[in-house]
Each structure stands twice: as C-alpha cells, then as structure tokens.
Structure 1
Amino acid sequence: MLAIARVLCALAAALVMAGGATANAETVLRVALHSDLKIIDPVWTTALISTHHGHMIYDTLFAVDEKLAVKPQMVDKWETSADQLTWTFTLRDGLEWSDGTPVTAEDCVASIKRWGAKDGMGQKLMSVTAELGALDAKTIRMALKRPYGLVLETLGKSSSNVPFMMPKRVAETDPNQQITDTTGSGPFIYKKDESRPGEKTVYVKNPRYKPRNEPASGLAGGKVAKVDRVEWISIPDPQTQVNALLSGEIDLIEIVPPDLLPLLAKEKDIRIFVTNTAGRQYAMRFNVLHKPFDNPKIRQAVLYALDEKEFLDANVGNPAYYKVCKSLFPCGSPLESTKGWEDKLSGNTAKARQILQEAGYDGTPIVLLHQTDLPNHSNLATVAKPQLERAGFKVDLQAMDWQTLVTRRAKKEPLDQGGWSAYFTSWGATDVLNPVSTAFLSGACDKATFGWSCDPELEKLRDAYAFETDPAKQKAIAEQVQLRVIDYPTHVPLGQFTTPTAIRSNIVGLLHTPALALWNIEKK
C-alpha cells in the first residue's frame, strides 16, 4: 500500500508540475503575411511589409483610431498658440526604449526630421517648419512659418511612410541609408538573432512597453501585447498557407486570394475577417528619369491603353472584393471625382496609338518590373503587357519577387544598367485620400519617392490644398490636381479592392486597422 501511495504521490506531483508548465507556457502567434521581410527600415522604404514591421517595434506620437480620427499615442497633451504658428507636444510619463533608456523629446525631434526628409506629407510639413526642437526631456516645440492645417494628420499618418519614433542615435542615420539598429519603444521587440530571411521573422513581447490606458481602437489606444511571441512564417504559396492554417500550423493568413475563400468558408474553425475596410488602390508608377517615360505625352498614352477592370478581374476576381473607380482619390472618400478621367482606363487602344504617334515614340522598350509572389498583385504586370503592346509599346517584362523589386526600384541608373520604367503596387485607401498624403503625387523631383516625378505645378497645387481649410475649396483644388495628372502623369490608379484575412477561431481581438496590428490579439 505504501508503494502504491508513493506512486500516486509521484503522479500527482508530475501533474502539478505539468499544470504549472502549461500555465506558464509561452503563447506563440504564428502568421503568414503577404511578403518576406528583408528591409527593416520603414522610413527608407514604403514597402508595406516593412511598415508592418515598424508597427510591431516602434510607436508614434499620434495614430488613427478605427474611425480614422487622429488620437494622441506617445503624446500626453499638446497646445497650439493663438496664431496657429507654435505647436507644443508633451510626451507621456514612463516611455522607454527596449534597451531601458528613457524616450526623450530629442529622440522624437530627430525621428521627425529623418522621416520628414523621405515622406511626402513629412516633406510638406518640414517645408513650412521654421524650427523644430526639444524644450526639455519631454517637450517638443514646432514653430511654423505660416498656419498649416495638416499638422496632426501628418504626424498621425497610418501607413507608408509612418513617422515612427526611434532613438536619436538611430534617427540621425542618413535618410537615404538603411538603419541597422532596431531599438524601439513599441509593444514588441525584433529578434534579429532568431529571424531567418525566407524562413521566419521573430518578435517577443516588450516588457518595457507602456500602453495607453484606453482600449485599443484602430492603430490608437492601448497597444497591449497579449501573446509572448509572434512568428511571421514565410510561406510564399497561398495554397500552402491555407493548408497550414487548416492544420493549425499557423494562426492567421494576412491575405487570402478570393479563389481560395470557398475552401475556408466551410471550415467551422476558421473565420474570415477584413481588417482594412477602407481597402487599397492599385497603381502603376512611372519612372520619369529615362526614355520612354521621360515624355509626359507618352505616359498619357498609358492612361488610355490600360483597362482597369481587367486588372481587377485578374488579380482579385471576386467583385465582392473590388470596385472599378475612375477617380484619382478613393471612391467613397470626400475627394472622389471622375472629372477628366471618364474616358481613361478603359483600354482605348486607338486613342493610345494616336497619342503615341503624336508624341514621337521611337520604340524604346518599357522595362516593366513584375512581382511574382504577392497575392492579389502577381498578375498586374502580366495584364499590362498585352494592353500596352496593343497600343504600340514594346515591353520588356522582368520577373522577380517583391523584395527584389523593392530594392530595384530605388535605382536611378539607365535601363541598360539595371534601371526600370514602371512597376505596380498598391496603397491603402487612407494613404491616398488627398493630394498631400498621396506619395505618388509629389512633384518634388529628387525628393519625390521612387519614380522621381518632377512638376512645379503639382507642388503648387499640393501646397494650396495643405493651406486651405474650406472643404469645398479643398475639393476644387483636388480636382485641379486630378486634371494636372492627365497632362503630367505620375502614376495610373487602377481600381480599389479589399483583402480578406483568415484566422483560426481561437484567435480573438484582431482589430480593424489600415495596417495590420498584432497587439490586442489573444490565442485562446
């Protein structure tokens, strides 16, 4: 009997230990995202995957909530002088970097300046800023040359490029060079030593992060990390992603192609969730530095040659998830307008040929960069090629993965030395709501984003929009921008779409956000 009692006691002790181990087990969230992470600097690049990375490890002064209203984030309070020229921001108490040092106003000033040298909205804000400095360890002072109506909207920008706050030593890196130090003050810490390109990217909960007291809403509120560890698992093939989700190997797929949705819809353990209800806008971006697209008239021919609906059918497929929209600014937004674009984007080959002939197109091939690995994007260039060829263009289609394209598009070299003519991407609708926020509308030449559009008239119109406070007058200016882009095309908008996310039913707390947020998520 004594021996049996000893065995029972040993079993009980083992069960207690096992229960304790279970109670203290690390909670790991495994997700498959739209791309592998290779560039860790979300200011140097506009790539969405790098922005997702930024939201994991950095925080921002302001952020947008679920209704896209700008709310304070790292900022506790702010004041504006009576003449609207001086803005003072006070940081919250207790903010720390992941290395244990306090967040200071000097860190934030350096971060704003570096971001402001790269981002279109940031450049506009910096152009009207007379002075930006730290009054003390917690207070930032911004003195403007003239009142500017988009200060908070700019500092609360939600997607590429986001004004993420970094330590001063990191933020003093040349904005045209990539950072290597990933010290942040966000809800997670990037584990470079455990991450492997093409395999996985690893983050752990930041024990020093101090969330706001409010509930999470959009990208604002309390960013509470409710799992211990997040792993971005690299699975390029969508079908393989779905199989991994069904088997429980991963917990979330960021973007599910519509043709695979029926397979998931019948599974009781899977839920479909659209995080970004505002959606995204496809765009073809021109490089204006080299022939043939150094000629605005030749770029104009593209506006007639392309058929927007063919892009949406080939890359989204299900009309429930896309919208044909002949507006430079998102349909459903305050600045929606088809003015000047009614006869564009419908595949008018005859008109495109006529314009090409008038422009003196000499047959220089278009080097068209074709990303092959992004769901909802992999058929953009392949749809464009025959449309452009029917109009009379010669097209050199060059296939590559998205991260290679992201690196390639930064090259200004001629076409025969690794340069490019055009590439396709998409922007969150919240990124292209107005002439100032839309990065591709910058006409700032070398300061403009990849493609380097250079047009003083566009810059004058963007300035006029930024300083106007009357919504009716703002809309009139936006329509002038829309008409100007016909004469000086910077890019081609190619319709709107939403991207369904699939999650296992034991995952709760996923937020409605313009960029993926992995805080507030619990794994039951």
Structure 2
Amino acid sequence: MSSKSAKRRNRRIVGGVVAAVVVGGVALAVVNRDDGGGDAQPAAAENITPSARGFLEPPALADRVSAGELPPIDERIPSEPFVVGPGVLLEEEHLDWEDGRYGGTLEFAAMGASGFVNIVGTTVLRSPGQTTEESAPNVVSGFEVDDDYTTFSFTLRDGLRWSDGEPVTTEDVRFTLEDVYGDPEADRPAPSWLYTAGDPSKSLANLEVHDELSFTLTFDESYGQFVADLNSWIPSYAELIKPAHYLKQFHAAHADATELAALVEESGRGDWQTLLDYRDVPHWEVGEPRALGMPTLNAWVLDESGENLTRYVRNPYFWHVDASGHQLPYIDEIVVNRVVDSDALTNAMLAGQVSLASGGEVALNNMPVLKQNAERSGFRVFTTGSFNNPLQLFLNRDYEWTEAGSQWQAVISDPQQRFHRAIAAAIDDEAINDAVYFGLYGDLDPSWRSFDPAQAGALLDELGMTLGSNGMRTYPDGSPFSLGITYPVGSSDVNPVAELLRSQLAEVGIRVELTSLEESLFNQRKETNQVMASLMINDGPGWASGISEDYLPNHKGPWAPEQWQYFLSRGERGRPLEPAMQEFFELHTSRKQVPPQSDEGVRRWEELVGWFKENHAFIPLTGAQVTPTIADVRLRNLPKEGSPVNLDVYIGSPGLWFDQD
C-alpha cells in the first residue's frame, strides 16, 4: 500500500449500508439507506417463500434452479448486496419509491440495437440522478480516498459474480489495466479517465492488488475528478473491470496459440488484437450481436440480437435487492423492436407497442397526438428535464488557421470577441423556443447572452464587416462573407432551428449556408477541421457534477479542435494555444484536482463557467431543455413529472416494475 495510506482518516463506506463518505477530509455524500422504505409488497402477494437469507427467488428463474441449472438465490447474491430504496437510484424528491413485484416485458422501439437501455446501475460508485454528491459503493463494497486525492482504495463485493456465474475478482482489474491497456502488443490504449488528471499524456493509474477482492489505484498528481468518473455511467464499470476469464481466450498472452489462431480465422478478424477489440464490447454497444456471450454485470443480459429485434433477459446474478427481499431487476426481459424511421417509431407508440420512450425518441411536436391517443394506447405522457443542453451553436476558432491571410481568422481571433458577441446578440431565443419547442423550454439565462440585434449590427460594423449592396455583410477586406453551419442529421428539431438561425442572422446581414450530413461524414469533417460552425447538443446539466466533460473543444461541436490537439500532444501537433485557450486549459486542469462537488470543486467550476460565458465557447440558442416521455400506465418507480432528471439516464433502471392490479 502506498505510504500515503497513513494519511487516511476516511470512513469506509459499505454498499447498501452506512451513511456517509469523507473524501480527503471533505464530506461528499450521504449514502443510501438500508431500510428500503417505501410501500413494500409482501412476499405472500407473489406466493414466493423467502430463502434462508430472506431473498425472493424470481419466478422466471425458479425452473432453472429446480433443474440444477442455476444455484439457489442465496448462493447468487453477494454477502453484502446493494440495497435499493428511497433516494438510492434517484433523489427521493424526484421518485416515490415502491418495492415492486416480479414479471413482465419492457418493450422499446428504436432505430438501432439500443444498448443504452442497459447501462444504468452498473457504475463503480453510485450517486442518484445527475450528481456525484451522494456516492455509495456499487460494484465495490468499500471505497476510500486519501487526503490529497492520489490514492483510491477499493474492495469488490464478496460473492459478486458475472452473469455466467464466475466470480468477480481483482484478476479482472489486473487483466484490464495490465494485459489490455498496459500490453503494447494488445494495442489498446486506456480511456483518458484512467490517466493522471484524465490526461493521456500523463501516467496511467498505478495498480496494486492486495488480495482477491481489494486493490488500490494511485495517480502521480491530485485527481479528485476521479470520484466523478467512478460515479459516471459514461465510462461505467466496464472500462475498469473486464471479464478476464472470457477475454483471455482472445489474448495471446493467455490463450493456447493453436486455439487462438483458429478463433481468429473463424472470425475473419485478421489478428488476435482485432479479435480482442471486437469481443470486448463497449458498454454503449451491449445490444450488438458481437456482445452475445460476453459476461456482464448489467441487470439484463443480451439473449438475442437480430435484424428485427434485440432481446435482453434478467441477469440471475445481479447484486441489487430491495428491502422486501426481491432481487432486481423486477422486469424479466427487455425487447427492443427495430424500426426504420421516426414515423415508424411514433406509429409503434400509438399502437401500444412501446412500454417506455423518452428523449430523442419522442419529438415535442408529436406530443399533442400522443396525448390524444394516450388512454386508448394505454400510456401516459409527461415531461422531465434533460441530461442534455438543447442545440448550441459552435464557432470554430481554428478553422483555416493554417491559411495565410484567412479572413475567417481575422474576425474569429478578434481579442474583443466582437464576432462571437455579434452572433450571440443576433439570435432570438424566445422565437426559437416558441416556434420549435412550443414555448416549453426554459428562459435563457441572460448571463450567457441577450438578444439585441442593434448591438449585433454595431459590433459587426466595428469589425469592418460592412453591408454590401445586397444587404449582406462582407469580410473586413471586402470579400463576400458566408457563415457555413454544418450539422449531423438527427433529432427532428435540428432542421427547423437551423432555418430559424439562417433567417435571424440574415436580419443583421449575415449570410448563412446550411449543410446537413450523416453523422459519420460530419465526424470525418470535424476530425479534419473542415467545419466552420456547427449545431449540436451537449451534456451541460452533467458538467457541474463531473459526470460529463463534453464541453471540451472537440467533443461535440468543434470550437477549438486544433488547440485541443496541441494540448493533448503537449505541443507535438495542432495549433499553439492562444492566451485565452491557455487560460481555459489551466482552469480545466485545475478543476480535476478536487472532487467536482466539493466546496472547492464548485468554486473552480464556477470559474470555468465564467470563462465559457466571457469567451463564447458555445452559444446557447434557448433555455433549458424539456424531455417528453411516454410510459405504460402500469409502470412504477418512474421519475415524477417535471423532475429535472432526464429519463434517458433512468430508462434502463432495474427498479422499474409493472403494477398488474
């Protein structure tokens, strides 16, 4: 153990029990209760006899247990299960928790395999909702952090098992860090969050294994942000803890050479490295056919993935239980039916073929027809907040940076930010909200920007972007100016918002050219710095908690992609940093030193937000996003209407259940 362990004065936290965690002397959390609370459903109502440990065997698994295909429930649940109840999976004020009942199929319709429905609940630590203030051990049973945020110690749950019944041990962590990320032959770089301060140019976390259940990760510098990464479903557990017993058959250091060569040939992947990468399925893609057979810690296990549907069945070894003794998930299976387009998706909802849909699947402009048909189709329609900001406008500071005499660079690099400020002032947020979002989106915070077309015109005049005879502005050298806005084809709001932007900017003399692209082509142009300006959503509500960092210069719409490359490569490639960008990266790096929602973390985040506003890293078009949702009227343990929590984040919750009464 690191010598820094002597500094620890933290209280060990145990999943499903205890009540507080202290990280580096800073109180971060109130952990989940073990009383379960809520209106527990008695076992007798389901005719299930409790086991010796007080657990209820899911009826869907009883025949397999009787046939000897599965161990009884007492042998499948860890010695310290994660106990769910009020305030555990979501903050108590956003969810009226009820212990549920077993049974049913949750039906979705999607235009892909939709692995997203199965990523909730399997983070290393667990904070309810979109915060990292209330951290409970989840995959682990114990967690400690030293005072300078460099040493993080973990204890895996005793008896935790993969979905195929194999034990989860520190060998799964060692294999991940040393044989996958740490083996040059494997050619698999680690995700950025496992490097010191989240910076791949710095050292990878140093692993020290103590026994089969406990291990320590140590970083060279203070890295309080790591607490948020451990809570985030974006990396999930799967980037730190991989099923070694399964993946070793695809790794040359462990597999029999003859058997591995046969697997490579059978797969047509060319070499073992490519095969390993193919079989080690990222958690975003757990619905893809290649995930079949891969052990998981998710609540549901992929059982079928075909052209028309994806099916998941309950994981018999899932370690969450409620206070009544139910092993979660309550629902036996999830079925995702493939549809060809958004119209087919809406028709499936109207036909009562969808149990739950939210986010991009339910367009606001479809809400009237959905509400009209809700009773007939057996669902209810309501709205919640979102994990996403609505569409933002990104102006690329690095576009044409290598072109001598670039007029774009002449206006976008203005130290007074007059072009950014003019574009921001020319956009009427209320008109966009009313026309596209039925006035349901929130009011725009004026500290970000205010609609003022007169000010926009004056700023453009100061820049020398004068109006020509056609009423459109020129570059300062008199050459024609046109703002090219490129965006990926996606949500139903992007085209009407883009058209409104075009007409609003034309009012101050800015000609706009719109280009919509398939996502893959958009990403190609983004990576080659061919995007002048763009429209994209981002994860703004998740930034303060550290769950997401897609404010970075090339993570969504590119706003300084070449300076991002310079920062990542420590000056080996990309564009040298402008003074303002140097300040940005200093603020961003400083923030990572402490837990995001500690007092100091909040202060540093507010500094970074101030930089965003002053430098117009992105330009918000409306206020806070509202997410429409439809849900089967029988579904329980859903967030309350009006909750700020995005249902997309909760849509695969193992706590959902069907009330059959």
> Structure 2 length normalisation: TM-score?
0.57
Per the alignment, residue 306 of structure 1 pairs with 427
Shift in CA distance, 430/504, structure 1 to aligned 2, threshold 3 Å: same
- Partner letter of residue 119 of structure 2? H
Q: CA RMSD in A?
A: 4.6
**Contact kept in structure 2, 1:388 and 1:395, CA below 8 Å:** yes
Alignment of 1:80-229 (within 5 A): 80-81=145-146, 84-98=149-163, 101-105=166-170, 107-108=172-173, 110=176, 117-118=191-192, 124=198, 131-135=205-209, 136-158=211-233, 160=234, 164-165=238-239, 166-167=242-243, 169=247, 182=291, 183=294, 184-190=296-302, 194-196=305-307, 200=309, 202-214=310-322, 224=329, 226-229=331-334
Alignment of 1:507-518 (within 5 A): 507-511=635-639, 514=646, 515-518=649-652
**Contact kept in structure 2, 1:91 and 1:138, CA below 8 Å:** yes
Shift in CA distance, 354/54, structure 1 to aligned 2, threshold 3 Å: farther
The one of 442, 449, 465 equivalent to 2:591 is 465
Residue 290 of structure 1 deviates from its aligned partner by: 2.1
Per the alignment, residue 63 of structure 1 pairs with 126
- Partner letter of residue 270 of structure 1? F
Q: Secondary structure at the match of 1:423?
A: strand
Cα deviation digits, residues 231-269 of structure 1 (max 9, x gap): 14436335x544432322222232433343333435333
Distance in 2 of aligned mates of 1:460 and 1:236: 44
Runs of 5+ unmatched residues, structure 1: 1-19, 39-48, 328-337
**Contact kept in structure 2, 1:149 and 1:467, CA below 8 Å:** yes
**Contact kept in structure 2, 1:150 and 1:466, CA below 8 Å:** yes
Q: Secondary structure at the match of 2:305?
A: coil
Distance in 2 of aligned mates of 1:167 and 1:364: 55
Q: Secondary structure at the match of 1:253?
A: strand
Q: Secondary structure at the match of 2:624?
A: strand
**Contact kept in structure 2, 1:324 and 1:496, CA below 8 Å:** yes
Shift in CA distance, 91/391, structure 1 to aligned 2, threshold 3 Å: farther
Q: Secondary structure at the match of 2:369?
A: helix
Q: Secondary structure at the match of 2:227?
A: helix
Residue 32 of structure 1 deviates from its aligned partner by: 3.3
Pairing 1:430–2:557 present: no
Per the alignment, residue 421 of structure 1 pairs with 532
The one of 316, 324, 331 equivalent to 2:443 is 324
Residue 224 of structure 1 deviates from its aligned partner by: 1.4
Alignment of 1:360-509 (within 5 A): 360=476, 363=480, 365-400=482-517, 404-405=518-519, 408-412=522-526, 419-433=530-544, 437-441=548-552, 445-446=564-565, 455-467=581-593, 477-485=604-612, 488-494=615-621, 495-509=623-637
**Contact kept in structure 2, 1:279 and 1:428, CA below 8 Å:** yes
Distance in 1 of aligned mates of 2:454 and 2:502: 12
- Partner letter of residue 426 of structure 1? I
Residue 508 of structure 1 deviates from its aligned partner by: 3.0
**Contact kept in structure 1, 2:195 and 2:204, CA below 8 Å:** no
Cα deviation digits, residues 443-499 of structure 1 (max 9, x gap): 7712889xx996221111123334468977656544543443356443223321121
Distance in 1 of aligned mates of 2:229 and 2:348: 39
Q: Secondary structure at the match of 1:439?
A: coil
Distance in 2 of aligned mates of 1:90 and 1:300: 51
Residue 396 of structure 1 deviates from its aligned partner by: 3.1
Per the alignment, residue 351 of structure 2 pairs with 247
Residue 156 of structure 1 deviates from its aligned partner by: 0.8
The one of 378, 387, 391 equivalent to 1:282 is 391
Shift in CA distance, 414/241, structure 1 to aligned 2, threshold 3 Å: closer
- Partner letter of residue 399 of structure 2? H
Q: Taking every aligned residue pair, what percent have the same amino acid on both sides?
A: 17
Q: Secondary structure at the match of 2:306?
A: coil
Pairing 1:522–2:654 present: no
Distance in 1 of aligned mates of 2:426 and 2:394: 15
Q: Secondary structure at the match of 1:78?
A: strand
- Partner letter of residue 517 of structure 1? I
Distance in 1 of aligned mates of 2:397 and 2:238: 29
Distance in 2 of aligned mates of 1:144 and 1:439: 23
Distance in 1 of aligned mates of 2:339 and 2:189: 29
Residue 138 of structure 1 deviates from its aligned partner by: 3.0
Q: Secondary structure at the match of 2:224?
A: coil
Cα deviation digits, residues 150-195 of structure 1 (max 9, x gap): 332222124x465644446599989xx986553332122345x633
- Partner letter of residue 424 of structure 1? L
**Contact kept in structure 2, 1:130 and 1:144, CA below 8 Å:** yes
**Contact kept in structure 2, 1:308 and 1:346, CA below 8 Å:** no
> Structure 1 length normalisation: TM-score?
0.70
Shift in CA distance, 357/189, structure 1 to aligned 2, threshold 3 Å: farther
Shift in CA distance, 308/106, structure 1 to aligned 2, threshold 3 Å: farther
Distance in 2 of aligned mates of 1:70 and 1:121: 21
Shift in CA distance, 413/308, structure 1 to aligned 2, threshold 3 Å: same
Cα deviation digits, residues 111-146 of structure 1 (max 9, x gap): 797897456999537788774315144333122334
- Partner letter of residue 353 of structure 1? L
Per the alignment, residue 15 of structure 1 pairs with none
Q: Secondary structure at the match of 1:502?
A: strand
Shift in CA distance, 505/480, structure 1 to aligned 2, threshold 3 Å: closer
- Partner letter of residue 124 of structure 1? G
Alignment of 1:249-268 (within 5 A): 249-255=353-359, 256-266=362-372, 267-268=374-375
Q: Secondary structure at the match of 1:323?
A: coil
**Contact kept in structure 2, 1:30 and 1:232, CA below 8 Å:** yes
Residue 296 of structure 1 deviates from its aligned partner by: 3.9
Cα deviation digits, residues 407-444 of structure 1 (max 9, x gap): 522544657xxx43333232344323268944224577
Shift in CA distance, 207/366, structure 1 to aligned 2, threshold 3 Å: same
Distance in 2 of aligned mates of 1:264 and 1:305: 35
Runs of 5+ unmatched residues, structure 2: 1-58, 64-102, 182-187, 252-272, 282-289, 401-406, 466-474, 554-559, 569-573
Distance in 1 of aligned mates of 2:601 and 2:364: 37
What is the number of equivalent residue pairs in this alignment? 456
- Partner letter of residue 357 of structure 1? G
Distance in 2 of aligned mates of 1:475 and 1:89: 26
The one of 341, 365, 369 equivalent to 1:236 is 341
- Partner letter of residue 122 of structure 2? D
Per the alignment, residue 29 of structure 1 pairs with 106
Shift in CA distance, 80/438, structure 1 to aligned 2, threshold 3 Å: closer
Per the alignment, residue 6 of structure 1 pairs with none
Residue 507 of structure 1 deviates from its aligned partner by: 3.0
Cα deviation digits, residues 279-316 of structure 1 (max 9, x gap): 74432334444237763445454333333333323332
Shift in CA distance, 223/344, structure 1 to aligned 2, threshold 3 Å: farther
Q: Secondary structure at the match of 2:321?
A: coil
Shift in CA distance, 488/121, structure 1 to aligned 2, threshold 3 Å: farther
Cα deviation digits, residues 12-67 of structure 1 (max 9, x gap): xxxxxxxx99x99x94322235xx337xxxxxxxxxx76x25616x8321232147
